[in-house]
Amino acid sequence: MKVAIIGATGAVGVEFMQVLERRKFPITELTLWASKRSAGTTLPFKGKDLTVRELTKDSFKGMDLALFSAGSKISKDFREACVAAKCLMVDNSSAFRMEEGVPLVVPEINPTEAAKALVKNGGKGVIANPNCTTIIALMALAPLHRVVPIKRLVAATYQAASGAGHAAMVELEEGTRAYLEGKPFPPKVLPHPYAFNLFPHNSPFDPATGYCEEEVKLLKESRKILSDQQIRVTGTCVRVPVLRTHAEALNVEFSDSGMSVERAYEILKKAVGVTVLEDRAKNRWAMPVDVAGHDNVYVGRIRKDQSQDNTFDVWVVGDQLLKGAALNAVQCAEVALLGKLAPNANP
């Protein structure tokens, strides 16, 4: 395969390269593309330094796969050129997720959707990578939903700086250092001081509903991925001062009494891409320091909601840069182009 990475110098772009190498994706040629400002930068891949070039409409000629993580505008501007070159586009932005005919894919959940993107199959040549929060939640919820349908989800998310990109991660590090040294540090990337602080997710808010874009994505994308428009979803998304790896507290109401704590654990221990981590005696559950750099989504602390029937609480932690972004995108390409989902290299 000839592969192009768009947005190669960003946090997800760097992860793309590492994931491709770890999973031994069959690459005969890898090209790196970014803005004019980043052109000339070199990045390592399989022991060699590759030079980043400025993205143009001709960048996709002869390519089999393009992994995009450069923002919605770039994805929209270069979609036509990519598809016209018969290059499969796997897009990490929100540009096409809700577009009819564009599959929104988490390979462990709806793998058959991936191949539908291929132009030779009548598809639009684009696979949309879901929002990181949605992916991490559904990795734990989809296996349960297959057994007993979920009726309602209430989510509280604790989202790391990685979700806002490399610049936000740097700002958290520098802001923390300044705070400890007693120095002023006005934020530039995020709207509020990040060190030793937390605040509502910084995506645009809808003044009519009070929900931010991130919270709305969780509702709309969950319904599309699970092919179930009846699921009710509400959430509160919060930025926390963690470098990478999102955590989510999920309150899940099932449609009937067929689910139990014991059954949920049994299902999730067998689920592909999921790891159960906990030690109840020590009040020990998965934390970002456990999960950062790991492919699997970690779950635990499953307990019955004492306030109403058929409802359970689940704690979920996943690396936003991996399963929430780069890993999921590469898995989509594996399913669509290679017809298989490879095992996780670092579960």
Q: Which pair of tokens denotes residue 253?
A: 């109401």
Question: Catalytic residue at 332?
Answer: no
Sign of the CA dihedral with 217 first, then 260, 265, and 342 last? negative
Q: Determine which one of 237, 246, 294, 332 is catalytic.
A: 246
Letter string b/e over residues 281-311, b meaning 16 or more CB atoms within 10 A of that residue's CB = eeeebbebeebbebbbbbbbbbeeeeeeebb
Number of Cα atoms under 13 Å in the Cβ half of residue 269: 9
For 199-306, strand residue ranges (E) read 199-200, 232-239, 246-254, 274-276, 278-279, 284-285, 297-304
Q: Determine which one of 132, 212, 237, 332 is catalytic.
A: 132
Helices (H), the chain: 11-22, 72-84, 112-115, 132-147, 166-180, 213-226, 261-270, 288-291, 327-333
Number of Cα atoms under 13 Å in the Cβ half of residue 147: 16
C-alpha angle 294-299-305 in degrees, rounded to nearest 5:
160
Using an 8 Å Cβ cutoff, are 335 and 25 in contact? Answer: no
Radius of gyration of the chain (CA): 20
**Backbone phi, psi, residue 243, to 5°:** -65, -50
Question: Catalytic residue at 294?
Answer: no
Q: Report the distance separating Cα 120 and Cα 305, nearest Å.
A: 48
CA distances from 302 to 77, 173, 252, 262, 316 (A): 44, 33, 10, 9, 10
Active site residues: 132, 246
